[in-house]
Amino acid sequence: MIFRRILAHVKTQNWLAVGIDFVIVVVGVFVATQVSNWNDANRDRARGEGYLASIHGELLTDAAAIERRAVFWGQVAGYGEDALSYAERGTLKNGSAWETVLAFFQASQIWPYTATDTTYRELTGAGELSLIRDSTMRAALADYYVVRKSRLDPMFAELPAYRETIRGLTPMHVQSHIWANCHRAVVDGTEEAQALLPCESPISEAEAREILRTYMAAPEVLRGLRFWMSTIRVYSDLSAHDRQTAMRLAERIETESN
């Protein structure tokens, strides 16, 4: 309709009316563009907030997972210290050969960890990281998900040589008893949780001492145990830092969203 009016005014050479109509068209296009941009910005803002809400939940999941592993790794390290006490000084745990055999075996336990990065991978995979408008937040998330992942995931995924060695030297019926009575795996939410338990001996003290002699006859046992205990310490320190980072990021997202 507006264009028909402009043509009519041109035919009658009503240039003032033509100018007014032209201004109306320009203003109308400008307003429509601004409204469209405003709607797009609102949609992008809402999507960005949705992504951050999902990341917030995943960061809390990470923090809880790390906390559970810290307890588990503490148990593994404790058993490792008992095993080292025997290997280096000949001291039996609580004066028991069986408890010392159990310490060697439980010191080989692992529970890998990797950050929950589903939402972040979805964002980066779709090329939509810019939906998180705060550039410092984007940098902090990249440090947590990308830098941390490249630094720690290979370490957490690696199986210690000590694990293979000690399990190769432990009689199978003893291992079966340990798995049935000295280890517990339960489902905690969506993730399996592990716990190491004290348990009765399935063998005599004489048999346990013979297993210990077998351990000590293999030089790779002590070397592997020392290296694995050192690695567990690194796991614990780095994971504690990761937990603090995850909690700080979650708190920041919550604060900014409010």
pLDDT in tens, 186-212: 766 666 788 899 999 999 999 999 999
Res 19 pLDDT > 80:
no
Check residue 221 and give its pLDDT: 97
Residue with tokens 């700080």: 248
Tens-place pLDDT, residues 215-227: 999 999 999 999 9
Decide if pLDDT at 148 tops 70: yes
DSSP annotation of 93 reads B
Alpha-carbon distance 8 to 229, whole Å? 90
pLDDT band at 106; cut points 50, 70, 90: very high
What's the pLDDT band for 22 if we cut at 50, 70, 90? low
DSSP string, 5-44: HHHHHHHTT-HHHHHHHHHHHHHHHHHHHHHHHHHHHHHH
Provide Rg for the chain, Cα atoms.
32
Stated as kind and residue range, the H or E segment containing 187 is: strand 183-188
pLDDT tier at 125, thresholds 50, 70, 90 = confident
Q: Phi-psi category of 249—alpha, beta or left, where left has phi over 0 and alpha has psi -120 to 50?
A: alpha
Give every CB contact of residue 197 below 8 A, 6+ residues apart in sequence.
181, 182, 183, 184
| Reported confidence tier of residue 128, pLDDT bands at 50, 70, 90 | confident
**Distance of alpha carbon 106 from alpha carbon 31, whole angstroms:** 70
